[in-house]
Amino acid sequence: MTDAARRPDREPKPQPSAAAQPAQGAIEDHPQVNPLMYRLVLLATYLPVLFSGMRLEVHGREHVPPAGTPLVVAANHVTGLDPFLVADALPAGRFLQFMAKKELFLPVIGWIIRTGGSFPVDREANDIGAVRTALRILKDNGTVGIFPQGHRGGEEMRGGVALIAAKARAPILPVGISREGKRWIIRFGEPISARGGIKATTEELGRVLAELSQPIGKQL
């Protein structure tokens, strides 16, 4: 028998090395922030505030934990400008990635929102996918923004904020948004720990947001 007859028709395929295999337990992909797009969106959305003769006033910025640590930002919801006003008020280095209603993710505007780092949520369902996305962002020391009332003018506090913060072991930064005359006012409160239980944390957050969203002359 010749050597050619002994040789198999196909050479065995080389097996990928261990280095080429995905690491077990690696962090899954999550929405990434494009810093340039993020700043352009904030600039574009702040122009209506300037052109209307209004200004942004920020209180309690010293309560914001340093960048590079996981943080859940929870604010009351007044207008469509709220996510951008809160993002503008945060110290440099914090890129706020909001959990935004899925209806906003249309072909063009949706691309802009995603490029800025935010992601969709179905407000009418138990959106496990959105919760997992938020947890991945926090695991990577990011900043997730959520409106615990669900929609503008909502009165009922939902427990999603406390649940996400507890699972990620991240503090909750309460933010009050209000408007007085020609001023949009952002008030940061002291961070809230989610270790006291979902119900208790949600109730505490509701009380704090109610205080922070009051006129500036009132006590926190």
- The structural domains of the chain, ordered by start, are 31-212 (3.40.1130.10)
Residue 18, exposed/middle/buried by CB under 10 A (0-12, 13-18, 19+)?
Answer: exposed
Supply the pLDDT for residue 28. 52
Question: Measured in whole angstroms, how far is the alpha carbon of residue 183 from the centre of its chain?
Answer: 25
Question: Measured in whole angstroms, how far is the alpha carbon of residue 216 from the centre of its chain?
Answer: 26
Q: Write out the two tokens for 93.
A: 């280095």
Supply the pLDDT for residue 115. 87
Supply the pLDDT for residue 16. 42
Q: Which helix (H) or strand (E) holds 115?
A: helix 109-115
Pairing of strands 172-180, 143-146: unpaired
Supply the pLDDT for residue 2. 47
Q: Which residues of the chain have pLDDT under 50?
A: 1-27, 219-220
169: left (phi > 0), else alpha (psi -120 to 50), else beta? left
Q: Which residues contact 193 (CB under 8 A, 6 or more apart)?
A: 171, 172, 201
Helix then strand then coil, % of the chain, to nearest 5: 35, 20, 45
Supply the pLDDT for residue 144. 97
